Amino acid sequence: MAQIINGKEVSASVKAAVAAETAQLREEKGLKVGLAVVIVGDNPASRVYVNNKKKACEEVGFQSFEYALDENTTEEQLRDLVDVLNRDSRVNGILVQLPLPKHINETAIINAISPEKDVDAFHPSNVGKIMIGEYSFLPCTPAGVMELIASTGVEIAGKSCVVIGRSNIVGKPMAMLLLHKSGTVTICHSKTQNLKEICLGADILVAAVGKPNFVTGDMVKEGAVVLDVGINRLENGKLCGDVEFESAEKKASYITPVPGGVGPMTISMLMKNTLTAAKQQAGLI
């Protein structure tokens, strides 16, 4: 039976470290840390995410600046706001909550954010830095997964790592981070053949597919570390991951639950990135 990786606990310890350093910077250098969160329209899921981010800012001692814009905001208006935030010295990090309404080009908005304030690490300049291993911001969800693996004490170097999913925000950067830690990485996606066989070779298995219970116990190698990024809402309203927990738990050595696994890590890594941004902008690192 696997040990459960407690994402809430690891996330709390990351936030506690960020809070302690934030307090120290304020006392010793008079430095305040600020995050701007921009939301366009009234997508209920986005609202929940934005509220959670504001709450996390309070917990760690950041100032948060919320910009809730009308659904009909034009791309130009949003770009103007991003320009203002790029120049606002109180704002160290800018987060534009995705998805944006269809009439706004997300790529154009992401590219308009100053890379120094791009705490989601979605700007092409930050994505490129991740590729060459010279990054200051890590994309929050994959970085959270890396913290969870570290919490188990399992060494990544030399291990067979399989990532299911190749999205720009999860799968691809996840594979890069595992590669930087010298894992032997395979990326699987919707066109992959023999997925089960490939998964069965994985010492570390990351599922980021977006399909409930997609990875079943018979796809998990005995003793593997299983990280479930998926957040799927079932018809009965319950949340469920991409991994069928009951069967996978019997095979894995460590496994993340959903909820309470990878999910809580994403916000704490966002806080960590914002602190890094503030220190960089103050010339402290």
Please confirm, yes or no, whether 250 is among the known catalytic residues: no
Q: Give the Cα separation of 228 and 78 in Å (integer).
A: 34
Binding flag, residue 280, ligand NAD (CB under 6 A):
no
Provide, rounded to whole angstroms, the least separation between the CB of residue 126 and ligand NAD: 17
Task: Please provide residue 185's backbone torsions phi and psi, each rounded to the nearest 5 degrees.
Answer: -105, 135
Binding flag, residue 229, ligand NAD (CB under 6 A):
yes
Binding flag, residue 162, ligand NAD (CB under 6 A):
no
Residues in 119-158 that interact with ligand NAD by CB under 6 A: 141
Provide, rounded to whole angstroms, the least separation between the CB of residue 281 and ligand NAD: 26
* Residue among 57, 164, 240, 248 that touches ligand NAD (CB under 6 A): 164
Name the H helices within 68-194. Answer: 75-87, 106-112, 124-132, 140-152, 171-180
Binding flag, residue 100, ligand NAD (CB under 6 A):
no
Please confirm, yes or no, whether 53 is among the known catalytic residues: yes
In whole angstroms, how far apart are CA 188 and each of 37, 124, 199, 223? 33, 23, 9, 20
Catalytic residue among 120, 203, 228, 242: 120
* Residue among 89, 107, 190, 194 that touches ligand NAD (CB under 6 A): 190
Closer to ligand NAD by Cβ: residue 85 or 96: 96
Q: Which stretch binds ligand NAD (CB under 6 A): 12-20, 59-67, 77-85, 168-176?
A: 168-176
Q: Which stretch binds ligand NAD (CB under 6 A): 19-27, 154-162, 204-212, 249-257?
A: 204-212
Residues in 5-34 that interact with ligand NAD by CB under 6 A: none
CA angle 81, 86, 90 (to 5 degrees): 100
Torsion of CA 79, 80, 86, 90, to 10 degrees: -130
Q: How many CB atoms lie within 10 A of CB 71?
A: 10
Strands 160-164 and 204-207: parallel
Enter the tokens of residue 54.
């504001």
Question: In this structure, which amino acid lies at residue 191?
Answer: K
Please confirm, yes or no, whether 120 is among the known catalytic residues: yes
Closer to ligand NAD by Cβ: residue 240 or 275: 240
Q: What share of the chain is helix, strand, coil (3-state, %, to 5)?
A: 45, 15, 40
* Residue among 167, 184, 186, 247 that touches ligand NAD (CB under 6 A): 167
| DSSP 8-state symbol, 13 | H
Which positions are catalytic?
Answer: 53, 97, 120
Interface contacts to ligand NAD, rule CB under 6 A: 141, 164-167, 169-171, 188-190, 192, 195, 208-210, 229-232, 262-263, 266
